[in-house]
Amino acid sequence: MNGFLKSVCELSPLSEDAVNELSECLCSADFKKGETIHQEGKICKHLFFVESGLAKHQYFHEGSQFIFRFFEDNQFFIATDCFFNNLPAHYSTIALEDSEISYLKYEDFENLCSKYHCFETFARKFVSIVAYTAISNLKGLLYLDATARYAKFLNEYGHLQQRISLGDTAAFLGISQVSLSRIRSRK
């Protein structure tokens, strides 16, 4: 059983029928370090899952890179604009390491949702996690200064510190790399 299926069942148990039908729909793809998993400006409605590797949601604004989130092994991700609103993606997702990605096409996702109550329950719980994580990050940006945000980052993503460059960390915190370097030297 692959990680996608296992993670779905852990979040919300599926009926045997639902498991079988989901299994048949699942796709897989490999990405080398630096490759684009989906591209800003295009519509890509898959529900993705990191079987192994590491990825980032990346956006460029006035020449600077900003990172909304990192996704490590066993995490789902989506292009929110596409998935929720059928709009072109506002950001790209880039592999930070060689990564194996599973995905479910949106038509299949919607079909499973309407066919199986248990899958709809999974979908609600998955979206709840997306919402909760976004709000948690939003809070940090709103009322924490850069030093406190870096401490929060170390707390939540500390185990990834070796795998994420200083530039990417700064882009996630919304500060310049120089500023992050200053913060690190201060303590």
Partner DNA sequence: GATAGTTTTTTACAAATGTAAAAAAATCAC
Partner DNA sequence: GTGATTTTTTTACATTTGTAAAAAACTATC
- Residues that bind a second copy in the complex, under the rule CB under 8 A: 59, 61, 64, 66, 68, 80, 84-85, 90, 113-114, 117, 120-121, 123-124, 127-132, 134-135, 137-139, 141-144, 174
Candidates 36, 64, 128, 136: give the one binding DNA (CB under 7 A).
64
Q: Does 133 bind DNA (CB under 7 A)?
A: no
* 162: DSSP letter: G
Would strands 54-61 and 27-31 be described as parallel, antiparallel, or unpaired? unpaired
Contact window for DNA (CB under 7 A) among 16-24, 84-92, 132-140, 144-152: 144-152
Closest CB 141 distance from DNA, rounded Å: 11
How far lies 96's CA from each of 32, 90, 108, in Å?
8, 19, 28
Q: How far apart, in Å, do the first and last CA atoms of the chain sit?
A: 45
Q: Does 65 bind DNA (CB under 7 A)?
A: no
Q: Does 139 bind DNA (CB under 7 A)?
A: no
Residue 39's binding partner out of DNA, a second copy, none, with CB under 5 to 8 Å set by partner kind: none
> 3-state DSSP call for residue 14?
coil
Closest CB 66 distance from DNA, rounded Å: 11
d(CA 129, CA 131): 5
Closest CB 177 distance from DNA, rounded Å: 5
* 41: DSSP letter: T
Residue closer to DNA (CB basis): 89 or 171: 171
Cα dihedral value 150, 153, 157, 160, nearest 10: -20
Residue closer to DNA (CB basis): 89 or 183: 183
Could you tell me which of 89, 100, 91 has the C-alpha nearest to residue 54? Answer: 100
Q: Does 95 bind DNA (CB under 7 A)?
A: no
